[in-house]
Amino acid sequence: MEDRVISTLKHILNKRYMQITLESRLREDLNVDSLDLLMILGDLEDEFATTLSDEDFSDVVTVNDIVIKLRARRIQDYRHVFE
Amino acid sequence: MYLNEFYNRFSLDERLVEVAGHNPYYQRIDSGLNEIILVNEQTMIDLASNNYLGLATDERVKLAAVQAVQKYGVSLCGTPIATGYSDLYQRLEGKLANFVGLEETILLPTCYQANNGLFSSISGPQDLIVVDRCAHSSLIQGIKAAGCKIRPFLHNNLEHLEGILQRSAGYRQVFVVTESVFSTEGSVAPFKEIVQLCENYQALPVIDDSHGIGVLGGSGRGILEEQRISRYRGIYTASLGKAMASSGGMISGEKRLIDYLKYYCPHLVYSTALSPAVLAGTEAVLDIIHSEFGALKGRLVTYQQEIYQSLVKGGFTVLPGEAPINSIQCGSKEATFILTKMLYDQGILSTPFIEPSVPINDGRVRLIAGANLSEDSVAEAAEIIQRIGCP
């Protein structure tokens, strides 16, 4: 799941920030603003075939916080099963 | 004291102004947008206003406005649904609809109100709005106020847009919202392709042509003319305060929609109508565009190129825009303000953009050389820019 979240961020942020890690802070390190966050959540919805509310993600600080929120919503990453 | 606590919430962060030694906002203009303008009583070259065609102080436009004041006074003191709907108002609606090639038009006090009022009138929680990531604040705020699902797409990125549209089933209506000219970038939307995507996925296109009307197209009719989009069945909005050299905003589209908005768009129904001087001035601008657009556009493009060349020679990073706008990439907001100050100190008024108008640390300084400037003023501005050089 972590790789898929980071991959989504790289796509949205136009690969400006190649060093995206779980510890990267969205605003301070990656310059993510509210519209970027909406785009990220939208693409994560597509990636994990789920529905996400931006209000639920308004307090995320790091990339890992997004992963934790997704896991808390019982979103599973089954992709490895088929690889 | 509870009042002190309340008012203490509203302090401004002045650190940026202290770093730059300059506040570029709310500079006092002491003249009209003439060849040389007065800013804080200092003479300056105007590369900041949106007076693309230079018609804001055209004698014919001023005369039309004065004559309207003499006939109607300064206001009809009512909303369009009440006493504000003058013959001037009705005639301008018709002329603007004809100008952009759509069935009907309504006029609002500003395009900000037009964009805000539009979405709150036509969309709701059952709908999805897919919007360009760089769309103007008026569109974003209007969309947010409608309470619908919002999906921004990467700027002018058709692939990303189509990916979103492919996975957008289940909504009552999907809208795709963009601008013709992105004024902080100078980029132009691939709107013909966007309209095609909308047809493929049964979405409704909405275009804000504020920086395109009076600028794009062979006769200045805007984005639809520029990209040869015929039989457009989407929604069109535009500001009348840029190339149209006046004020107000317009919404155009099919008659059924416009008739509905006339009664159900609160931003129109409850706002005092545009004043007679504004309506008559805009009509005069339209007449001038009809007869002189080619010459005006020619000067606009020539001046834009001259400023562009000076920026390149000065070592600035300039975005390769297709519109008559030069947008300098500055990075941080501090660097953006400092460049604005350097230009200001040398007699050039420019427009800085920092977050949230642009992405964080992606500041811009925008330069627009209107068609009313003389060749000497533009040459002087170009010389100054080159001399300053990229800091």
| pLDDT tens-place string over residues B206-263 | 999 999 999 999 999 999 999 999 999 999 999 999 999 999 999 999 999 999 999 9
Chain A residues closer than 8 Å to B360 by CB: 27, 31-33
- Is residue B362 within 8 angstroms of chain A, CB to CB? yes
| Residues B336 and B378 reside in one and the same domain | yes
Chain B residues closer than 8 Å to A51 by CB: none
Q: How many domains does chain B have?
A: 2
Interface of B with A in 273-292 (CB under 8 A): none
**CA-based torsion, A70, A72, A74, A78: positive or negative:** positive
Residue B279 belongs to a domain? no
| Residues B48 and B93 reside in one and the same domain | no
Between chains, do A42 and B152 touch, taking CB under 8 Å as contact? yes
Candidate ranges B35-39, B219-223, B320-324; pick with highest mean pLDDT: B219-223
- Distance of alpha carbon B312 from alpha carbon B153, whole angstroms: 30
The domain in which residue B270 lies consists of 75-274
Q: How confident is the model at residue B35 (pLDDT cuts 50, 70, 90)?
A: confident
Q: How confident is the model at residue A79 (pLDDT cuts 50, 70, 90)?
A: low
The CATH number of the domain where B28 resides is what?
Answer: 3.90.1150.10
Interface of A with B in 23-82 (CB under 8 A): 27, 31-36, 38-39, 42, 46
Residue range A4-62, pLDDT digits in tens: 999 999 989 875 656 899 999 998 889 898 899 999 999 999 988 888 888 888 899 99
Interface of B with A in 140-199 (CB under 8 A): 140, 150-154, 163-164, 167
- State if pTM tops 0.90: yes
The pLDDT value recorded for residue B275 is: 97
The pLDDT value recorded for residue A83 is: 46
Q: How many domains does chain A have?
A: 1
Residue A83 belongs to a domain? no
Of B133, B167, B361, the CB nearest to A31: B361
With CA atoms as reference, the chain A residue closest to B154 would be A12
- Distance of alpha carbon B158 from alpha carbon B68, whole angstroms: 46
Q: Are the C-beta atoms of residues B368 and B50 closer than 8 Å to each other?
A: yes
The pLDDT value recorded for residue B211 is: 97
Chain B residues closer than 8 Å to A34 by CB: 356
Residue A56 belongs to a domain? yes
What DSSP line would sit under B198-265, residue for residue? HHHHT-EEEEE-TTTTTTSSTTS--HHHHTT--S--SEEEEESSSTT-S--EEEEE-HHHHHHHHHH-
**ipTM of model:** 0.84
Between chains, do A31 and B359 touch, taking CB under 8 Å as contact? yes
Helix (DSSP H) and strand (DSSP E) numbers for chain A: 3, 0
Residue B70 belongs to a domain? no
Q: How confident is the model at residue B43 (pLDDT cuts 50, 70, 90)?
A: very high
| Residues B191 and B320 reside in one and the same domain | no
Per-residue pLDDT averaged across B15-42, rounded? 94
Between chains, do B360 and A14 touch, taking CB under 8 Å as contact? no
How many angstroms separate the CA of residue B205 from the nearest CA in chain A? Answer: 19
| Residues B82 and B228 reside in one and the same domain | yes
Element spanning B365, H or E? strand B363-367
Residue B268 belongs to a domain? yes
The CATH number of the domain where A57 resides is what?
Answer: 1.10.1200.10
Chain B residues closer than 8 Å to A12 by CB: 154
Tokens representing B156? Answer: 């002018």
Active site residue A33: yes
The domain in which residue A39 lies consists of 2-77
- Mutation pick from A35, A36, A51 vs chain B, by most beta carbons of B within 10 Å, is A35
Closest CA to B355 of B369, B339, B335: B335
Cα–Cα separations (whole angstroms), residue B161 to A11, A14, B132: 13, 15, 9
| Residues B147 and B52 reside in one and the same domain | no
Residue range B165-197, pLDDT digits in tens: 999 989 999 999 999 999 888 999 999 999 999
* Percent of chain B whose predicted confidence (pLDDT) is above 90: 89
Per-residue pLDDT averaged across B57-75, rounded? 98
Q: Annotated catalytic residue: which of A3, A29, A33, A77?
A: A33
Chain A residues closer than 8 Å to B151 by CB: 38-39, 42
Q: How confident is the model at residue B12 (pLDDT cuts 50, 70, 90)?
A: confident
Residue B339 belongs to a domain? yes
| Residues B27 and B90 reside in one and the same domain | no
The CATH number of the domain where B190 resides is what?
Answer: 3.40.640.10
| Residues B178 and B268 reside in one and the same domain | yes
Element spanning B175, H or E? strand B174-179
- Mutation pick from B161, B167, B171 vs chain A, by most beta carbons of A within 10 Å, is B167
- Is residue B218 within 8 angstroms of chain A, CB to CB? no
Give me the total of CB pairs closer than 8 Å, taking one residue from chain A and one from chain B. 32
| Residues B184 and B326 reside in one and the same domain | no
Per-residue pLDDT averaged across B267-277, rounded? 96
Of B150, B167, B362, the CB nearest to A46: B167
